[in-house]
Structure 1
């Protein structure tokens, strides 16, 4: 009698990588683990921050940092700080005691943070000058009785201006982890991790200053690079230089201190109908300057593509905006006798950390998402409830979420950190706890 045939057992391939994204609020923090032979692991921490105004933020970020200490045994191979915004770096300072316990093999930042780079020095001076003007403008608006300078305060929040610590001081804690941080440039050769069959490419920030200043798309004017910082600075600076600056000339102007003591104006101007007032109309350019500074800082994001060879590419775009994305077309490297380009990496992207919490100008269409033909998983670090409080109700953008769903529907899924994974995502391997979501690649 013939022996019964054994049914072959299907073995699931072990993952090449695991990406853990924290669900701590409106901010970014990721732990990437690459797997090699004999249980070897290469662990990368990317950013650690949450938006200003998050309740009990210090305790929140300490819990995140303590979880990273537990998951890594207190040691990581690479620490990445993508750009100087509060929601990406605050945790390094807010959880300073726990962060001090973390051993770090290497630190990477974008070339824009290099204290010795001439272009970076110039950019920092421009940014610091604009930030100082915005702080003065916000204070002046409150003194003039213009109410809470909403947009200005919102932008200043990104730099930690209202906190005991700043983004600059948080970055210094990161920089101090190693003797020599690496300041990444797209022209750099990819870093090979032979034991893990992986290479890490730097896609951005671009060296072309014009591309750094291109933050918004425009069909009619594709070469428009957004608000020029210099023009806005001149306008705001001129207004701040005159303590009695108003929208009209001296010949028809009544100083605030005189008008505020006049019964006619007390009754008809300084009252509950604040929307009718124009005495802070001169600050419109401050709002434009605030938006330009915010967007340009986003555009200095360090963008990394982790190439796992046959397993695809993990794309971490931080908060890169239009010019940063467009610059990837010019990225070229020679690897093992073959040319690798930015579009090549996009075409092989299987995991996308969605840029800037799913905002309107942080994921390109034709030259971005539509190029990701292999996309399986998209993760959006977001807190829509907090976005509403900040008056950013379109984060994440519905049309973008729909496009991501469409791009991943065949094989994968979309995860939002402010929502539980869908049944499809769970069935296809997504895992979640109260503190994080996790994906195997």
Structure 2
């Protein structure tokens, strides 16, 4: 019997999914992301091993390569295993990226420029904080570096970065340009048998991209999170510390400034600050907002995730891949209406309908609290056959002090999926008491767990 195979690789905390659909002349293969979190032991070797599996499973022909957004745990392998994915090793048909990668697209250019500036200045803030001889400062710098790991780490300028990995994906099918996808697009998967692709995100709207957390008045997710108030205004101060007295850098003219040596000689400074903890000195106090800025930048990047839904046209069943999309990305889907032509007729499709027909859900952002919408997300996934995959390594998440999977979300996912959550780390879950042996056996017949991947097959 013909089937769709969804393969989740088990490389560690990161996303890498290989989808295989029946095609006109053999299987059609789609790779969605290919990365693992910075700091994962033997990360390069792991990703090279996965690359070998991809080449073997596709028989050296990958029809589509997708890079959803610029985070290391989604794209690192395109740098770490690049030699194994070059044209002499693997034929690639198309490359898909979000509109946020399109050169000359005004909002895309703006977002990329702001992101690059923010990453550089957060790295500078981390260096300044780390230079303070105080344990609290060292801890704060380590937290910033953990967030910078999503772009390749604080010293990324000297090595491969998320930007270089994304650029490699975009040129991989040269001279053919990559396919830049906008929300509201729909098309059939090239070479596949009646598979339709819907583009849900990222939103082409600053308002939705900037909405990473729930509203204060109404929790759209499974816990109300605090709203970050990071300010890009601290950039000028970071530049001042990094560049010293370069013209146009210092926020105040020299006449208004008191140098550190002079300040130390005054009774006011000596009586109040000498001998006290270094982190309480005013020249370091402004660095505090850098942490909030870094978190906001991370969330905004997640909100630029390319979100795809694959519809099996004969059955109407849907496979949903939201990458790391957060609140604003999810909420923007209700603004979209797709017009689909089939059999000489047209029909209108909305996100609510796609969610109601979702039978497979790639759990967003490793099960974090604000990457699966509640009322307009999971609660709309009403199909009785819903199965999910969770790409999470708990030891790594715990080391980073990340509450993943978020308990109330994970509990509700278990209820909606009737326990059918395939876990990158844990493999197959225990059978829920409420599910019959026949139902559970039918589920297990579709699952194949190996050391390096987990397969789930959906009959057509």
Shift, 1:420, TM fit: 2.4
Consecutive unaligned residues of structure 1, counting only runs of 5 or more, are: 1-13
Residue 76 of structure 1 pairs with residue 75 of structure 2? no
Matches for 1:178-327 after TM superposition, within 5 Å: 178=173, 179-193=176-190, 195-220=192-217, 227=228, 232-238=231-237, 240-241=239-240, 255=260, 268-269=275-276, 280-309=284-313, 310=315, 312-327=317-332
Q: Which runs of 4+ in 1 moved over 4 A?
A: 192-195, 221-229, 242-245, 250-254, 256-260, 262-268, 274-279
Q: 1:32 aligns with which of 13, 16, 19?
A: 19
SS of corresponding position for 2:68: coil
Shift, 1:265, TM fit: 9.7
- CA-based RMSD of the aligned residues comes to 3.0
SS of corresponding position for 1:147: helix
Shift, 1:356, TM fit: 0.4
Q: Deviations over 1:36-84 (max 9, x none)?
A: 46x7211100100010001111101000010101111111110000000
Matches for 1:93-104 after TM superposition, within 5 Å: 93-100=79-86, 101-104=89-92
Q: 1:404 to 1:15 in 2, by over 3 A?
A: farther
8 Å contact from structure 2 (residues 319, 360) kept in 1: yes
Q: 1:132 aligns with which of 120, 126, 135?
A: 120
CA distance in 2, matches of 1:195, 1:427: 26
Q: 1:215 to 1:384 in 2, by over 3 A?
A: same
Q: Deviations over 1:16-37 (max 9, x none)?
A: 3100001110100000001146
Q: 1:371 aligns with which of 371, 377, 380?
A: 380
8 Å contact from structure 2 (residues 121, 238) kept in 1: no
Residue 156 of structure 1 pairs with residue 148 of structure 2? yes
Under a length normalisation based on structure 2, what TM-score does the superposition of the two structures give?
0.83
Indicate the residue corresponding to 1:387 in structure 2. 397
Indicate the residue corresponding to 1:49 in structure 2. 35
Indicate the residue corresponding to 2:130 in structure 1. 142
Shift, 1:225, TM fit: 11
Range with bigger deviation, 279-288 or 251-260: 251-260
Consecutive unaligned residues of structure 2, counting only runs of 5 or more, are: 432-439
Shift, 1:116, TM fit: 2.2
Q: 1:257 to 1:372 in 2, by over 3 A?
A: farther
Indicate the residue corresponding to 1:407 in structure 2. 416
Q: 1:155 to 1:311 in 2, by over 3 A?
A: same
Q: Deviations over 1:361-415 (max 9, x none)?
A: 00001000000011521101011100111121x1111111111110011xx6001
Shift, 1:235, TM fit: 2.7
Under a length normalisation based on structure 1, what TM-score does the superposition of the two structures give?
0.86
8 Å contact from structure 1 (residues 133, 233) kept in 2: no
SS of corresponding position for 1:196: coil
Q: 1:182 to 1:349 in 2, by over 3 A?
A: same
Shift, 1:237, TM fit: 2.4
Range with bigger deviation, 313-322 or 191-200: 191-200
Shift, 1:303, TM fit: 0.3
CA distance in 2, matches of 1:26, 1:398: 18
CA distance in 1, matches of 2:160, 2:191: 39
